Structure 1
Amino acid sequence: MSITPIEHWVDGAAWAGTSERTGDVFNPATGTVTGTVALASAADVGVAVAAAEAAWPAWRDASLATRLKVMFAFRELLNARKQELAEILTAEHGKVLADALGEIARGLEVVEFACGAGHLLKGEYSESVSTNVDVYTVRQPVGIVGVISPFNFPAMVPLWFLPIALVSGNAVVLKPSEKDPSASVWLARLLQEAGLPDGVLSIVHGDKEAVDALIDSPVVSALSFVGSTPIAKYIYERGSAAGKRVQALGGAKNHMLVLPDADLDLAADAAVNAGFGSAGERCMAVSVLLAVDTIADELVTKIAERVGQLRTGDGTRGCDMGPLITRAHRDKVAGYLDIAVADGAEIVVDGRDVVVDGGDDGFWLGPTLIDRVATTSAVYTDEIFGPVLSVVRIAGYDEGLALIEASPYGNGTAIFTNDGGAARRFQREVSVGMVGVNVPIPVPVAYHSFGGWKASLFGDAKAYGPQGFAFFTREKAITSRWLDPSHGGINLGFPAHD
């Protein structure tokens, strides 16, 4: 098999960079190396930033109509060629094709939302706030933006940020995950085809050196990040200290609370879908099921039956779940099963025993169901980020809510119940940024904003939606008076509105 070199994308063209460092890119379903990605040096990042700085003034000054034409054209191209992108996602990330297409569909929602920028970039106007004085506001781009995206959504997360940042008049330097970098370059080429001027979007591949160079660049005004909580905190603190605007979305430990009056078949379906989709490599995956004692046995049985029907294997073969992203990550996730047993939990379904439809050297771990998990166990406290669903048995609503409140994370949560009062109380009381009622993965649609609370979000702005436009623009207030022959002359008193 040939090894494909994956280069940066700078000033509208592929660029090898000056660094000699590279990284391997794998097909997780076979375990084979399929590409080598260039890892940027700080100097390489500087070249990309300089290209963005040179291209930005003309893009900033382009009419909104011009920018919208590019975004509309991009939407049409992306929708027409989404199968091609899905195959790239499956080849480098491992998620099954149906899941990859779903990822693209959610990204397309944000592109479509960005096509309504004319409404969202409007200012406000107040006439005659004082005699012959008007006040109005305008929204202007922040400048050069750095976006750092994770491996688990190589297309969707860039599409959370790029359409809004670009249509608002910013230039962007994107640093995708070095584990599955090809999707980002594909998107950059498609934007160029849609009419985006060269230099307005650049892609630099790399690791911490590239990230630090983006953070430290005096030209970069704002940073968007999605990833683990420790890195999110690091980027937020370092970027903020440098005077940048930063939104950093961190990790999660999402709980699903199932009350005795819930539809248990619906809850079991939801737990499997939310726990094992994309091999659990989602920041909105349900990783903890809080089951009230009176229905826990029945619910665990229903979930185990459904897990037994899942087919794990190569994402191109119509399987339900694919491999994990790397061998090291697979081994780390599998290690939690030994921890669970040592801490007294019961492994109901052991993903290490899965029979797969895929290569012998793929990074496989099947869906895993663990019952009677102690809240002191690392299986409960850690963000495992894999196909491991932990069941914690509770006495009732109050204990379940208390466990969610005690978690340092506050990304997503869900309650399953047919009691409207309990649902209403839960959505009001729980300290979590995204809440589902009989919905296991409460990711908001594009015209609402995505983000958690507590250690799941650093900074004030959530992703996409109205807050996305607020983050990528700055508001300017203008107080205006056009004099007429009857103006009052000199007055040294403090100006008052009359």
Structure 2
Amino acid sequence: MTTAIPHWRGGRRWTGSGDRAGDVYDPATGEVTGRVGFATRDDVDAVVADAVEAGRAWAAQSLTRRTAVMFAFREALARRRKEVAAAITAEHGKVLDDALGEVQRGLEVAEFACGAPHLLKGGFSDGVSGGVDVFSIRQALGVVAVIAPFNFPAMVPLWFVPIAIACGNAVVLKPSEKDPSASLLIAECWAEAGLPAGVFNVVHGDKVAVDGLLEHPDIAAVSFVGSTPIARYVYETGTRHGKRVQALGGAKNHMVVLPDADLDTAADAAVSAGFGSAGERCMAISVVVAVDPVGDDLVQAIASRIGGLTTGDGRSGCDMGPLVTREHRDKVAGYLDAGVADGAELVVDGRTVEPKGEAEGFWLGPTLFDRVRPGMSVYDDEIFGPVLSVVRAASYDEALTLVNSSPYGNGTAIFTADGGAARRYQRDVQVGMIGINVPIPVPMAYYSFGGWKASLFGDTHAHGMDGIHFFTRAKVITSRWPDPAQRTGVDLGFPRHD
């Protein structure tokens, strides 16, 4: 049975006015399970107009009231986490445990946002001059948009939405049309928490909806996560229309393995970080840099672990699920022939996998290349699938140069028992998030998430204090209350605080 998937407006599900829609698949069976309605520009305008009105009233609410809603939302999402995770598995394909972990990481941001009364505190300086005090406050922007990718349909919206709402903004979320149902379950959690209608909204769609948000004069800011070309487009279009934009782009994350590393630990980490969520993570390890002489042993250790993995329906207890769509699976599989043609050694071919699932599922098993070099498409491109490449390096310095030469700078890891080498790496590597013997260095919610170079467009990262600053504007007030005994008369000199 095919389910109609609507938008969310005015605190309830809403069909919109458009007649265009897109298919939503179960990646484990290849079957169409839903049809998601695509918003028109008029739909976007109507939702934003509602959000403007609701946002004004929400920003005027006390911090105490807003915080009470945040706590209630956190509890509602915690109660329904299994339901949200099941929707993710059904439409994205990642295994259920991975989907539950995604929801948990989003919950952590909601918990961080519950501290809004402390996070939004300003400063106060008493008596900076004769009878003059100075203090600062942070205020909401108004209506903000969040444009989320398919690979984390719950976690990525939750990186932004709780903080934006806690700061007093209204939000319009445009989730991926590939796996949209999790966004509606999150919307229901907001309604259960008592969030006023119109403060949180969901519009589904394609470029029409995206451009409607990027160009709308009442959208003050846009948060985006996706591929680098689209991130650049979102940033340039949004800023050209006067918006504050944070656009997190693509990645090609390297894991450097030094000769003194524990190779069993490194191999476990490479497999876990390379093939979790079928490699559809912006923080996935896609390149292992093996520093001589560990290459042969490390490749053998990784290959042996791949042999023990199971690929299948994410609801059946397998290690790795399918890819999100047939088109994406075919695109990723195409890199295997390209890698061989470029001279890389195909150690494990994921096309030969025997999945535990329906034959029509979007399957591609874990794939391992060795002796990959820059200039090969399997190295240069963000493949976004279960393809792990091993590059050989003669020294630490060569490995560092390789990482720093990448146009991306999202995440990286180093595996070593040498504290000096680790400290040198964390200082010298040109990457925003670094793991030391940690393969996926995603920061906790009270730190901020974001990369360098072509992995980020904009000046601020996601969540943490960067998120608070992104979703608010600062005011500084200089105040003097009249004191007849201290009248100074007219003074045309530049004000000084003597």
Cα deviation code 1:94-152 (max 9, x no counterpart): 00000000001100110100011111100000111110000000000011001000000
For 2:496, the equivalent position in structure 1 comes to: 496
Offset at 1:252? 0.2
Offset at 1:293? 2.8
- In structure 2, distance between residues paired with 1:497 and 1:422: 49
For 1:189, the equivalent position in structure 2 comes to: 188
- In structure 1, distance between residues paired with 2:407 and 2:207: 25
For 2:19, the equivalent position in structure 1 comes to: 20
- In structure 2, distance between residues paired with 1:393 and 1:489: 75
For 2:80, the equivalent position in structure 1 comes to: 81
For 2:374, the equivalent position in structure 1 comes to: 375
For 1:275, the equivalent position in structure 2 comes to: 274
- In structure 1, distance between residues paired with 2:392 and 2:458: 34
For 2:143, the equivalent position in structure 1 comes to: 144
Q: Secondary structure at the match of 1:52?
A: helix
Q: Secondary structure at the match of 2:484?
A: coil
Amino acid at match of 1:496: R
For 2:159, the equivalent position in structure 1 comes to: 160
Is 1:422 aligned to residue 421 of structure 2? yes
Q: Secondary structure at the match of 2:485?
A: coil
Amino acid at match of 2:441: P
For 1:115, the equivalent position in structure 2 comes to: 114
- In structure 2, distance between residues paired with 1:317 and 1:431: 40
Amino acid at match of 1:347: L
Q: Secondary structure at the match of 1:284?
A: coil
- In structure 1, distance between residues paired with 2:353 and 2:92: 20
Offset at 1:444? 0.3
For 1:10, the equivalent position in structure 2 comes to: 9
- In structure 2, distance between residues paired with 1:109 and 1:496: 46
For 1:447, the equivalent position in structure 2 comes to: 446
For 2:306, the equivalent position in structure 1 comes to: 307
Q: Secondary structure at the match of 2:90?
A: helix
For 1:32, the equivalent position in structure 2 comes to: 31
For 2:244, the equivalent position in structure 1 comes to: 245
- In structure 1, distance between residues paired with 2:84 and 2:215: 32
Amino acid at match of 2:25: F
For 1:473, the equivalent position in structure 2 comes to: 472
Q: Is the 8 A contact 1:343 1:374 kept in 2?
A: no
Q: Is the 8 A contact 1:261 1:417 kept in 2?
A: yes
Offset at 1:319? 0.4
Q: Secondary structure at the match of 1:325?
A: coil
Amino acid at match of 1:282: R
Cα deviation code 1:193-247 (max 9, x no counterpart): 1000000011000011100000000000000000000010111111111111000
- In structure 2, distance between residues paired with 1:69 and 1:488: 46
Offset at 1:11? 1.0
Q: Secondary structure at the match of 2:375?
A: coil
Return 200-209 or 478-487, whichever deviates more.
478-487
Q: Secondary structure at the match of 1:380?
A: helix
Offset at 1:485? 2.4
Offset at 1:374? 2.0
Cα deviation code 1:466-486 (max 9, x no counterpart): 100000000100000011221
- In structure 2, distance between residues paired with 1:319 and 1:335: 24
- In structure 2, distance between residues paired with 1:233 and 1:349: 34
For 1:106, the equivalent position in structure 2 comes to: 105
Offset at 1:493? 2.3
- In structure 2, distance between residues paired with 1:352 and 1:489: 84
Show structure 1 runs of 5+ residues with no match.
none
Cα deviation code 1:308-329 (max 9, x no counterpart): 1101000000001000000000
Offset at 1:492? 2.6
Offset at 1:15? 1.1
- In structure 2, distance between residues paired with 1:248 and 1:344: 35
For 1:254, the equivalent position in structure 2 comes to: 253
- In structure 2, distance between residues paired with 1:253 and 1:496: 52
For 2:386, the equivalent position in structure 1 comes to: 387
Q: Secondary structure at the match of 1:294?
A: coil
Q: Is the 8 A contact 1:145 1:172 kept in 2?
A: yes
For 1:413, the equivalent position in structure 2 comes to: 412
- In structure 2, distance between residues paired with 1:235 and 1:295: 42
Q: Secondary structure at the match of 1:128?
A: strand
For 1:351, the equivalent position in structure 2 comes to: 350
Q: Secondary structure at the match of 1:83?
A: helix
Amino acid at match of 2:479: S
- In structure 1, distance between residues paired with 2:37 and 2:53: 23
- In structure 1, distance between residues paired with 2:106 and 2:35: 26
- In structure 2, distance between residues paired with 1:362 and 1:43: 36
Return 480-489 or 19-28, whichever deviates more.
480-489
- In structure 1, distance between residues paired with 2:466 and 2:475: 17
Return 53-62 or 380-389, whichever deviates more.
53-62
Show structure 2 runs of 5+ residues with no match.
none
Q: Is the 8 A contact 1:432 1:452 kept in 2?
A: yes
For 1:171, the equivalent position in structure 2 comes to: 170
Amino acid at match of 2:292: D
Q: Is the 8 A contact 1:215 1:238 kept in 2?
A: yes
Cα deviation code 1:291-340 (max 9, x no counterpart): 01311110111111111110100000000100000000000000000011
For 1:41, the equivalent position in structure 2 comes to: 40
For 1:404, the equivalent position in structure 2 comes to: 403
Q: Is the 8 A contact 1:235 1:248 kept in 2?
A: yes
Q: Is the 8 A contact 1:339 1:378 kept in 2?
A: yes
For 2:55, the equivalent position in structure 1 comes to: 56
- In structure 2, distance between residues paired with 1:371 and 1:293: 14
For 2:486, the equivalent position in structure 1 comes to: 487
Offset at 1:487? 2.4
Q: Secondary structure at the match of 1:232?
A: helix
- In structure 2, distance between residues paired with 1:341 and 1:308: 20
- In structure 1, distance between residues paired with 2:144 and 2:265: 42
Q: Secondary structure at the match of 2:425?
A: helix
- In structure 1, distance between residues paired with 2:391 and 2:45: 49
For normalisation by structure 2, the TM-score amounts to 0.99
- In structure 2, distance between residues paired with 1:328 and 1:380: 21
- In structure 1, distance between residues paired with 2:104 and 2:394: 39
Q: RMSD of the TM alignment (CA)?
A: 0.7
Q: Secondary structure at the match of 1:486?
A: helix
- In structure 2, distance between residues paired with 1:491 and 1:418: 70
Q: Secondary structure at the match of 2:146?
A: strand
- In structure 1, distance between residues paired with 2:8 and 2:218: 19
For 2:262, the equivalent position in structure 1 comes to: 263
- In structure 1, distance between residues paired with 2:161 and 2:437: 31
Offset at 1:491? 1.8
Q: Secondary structure at the match of 1:316?
A: coil
- In structure 2, distance between residues paired with 1:443 and 1:13: 33
Amino acid at match of 2:57: A
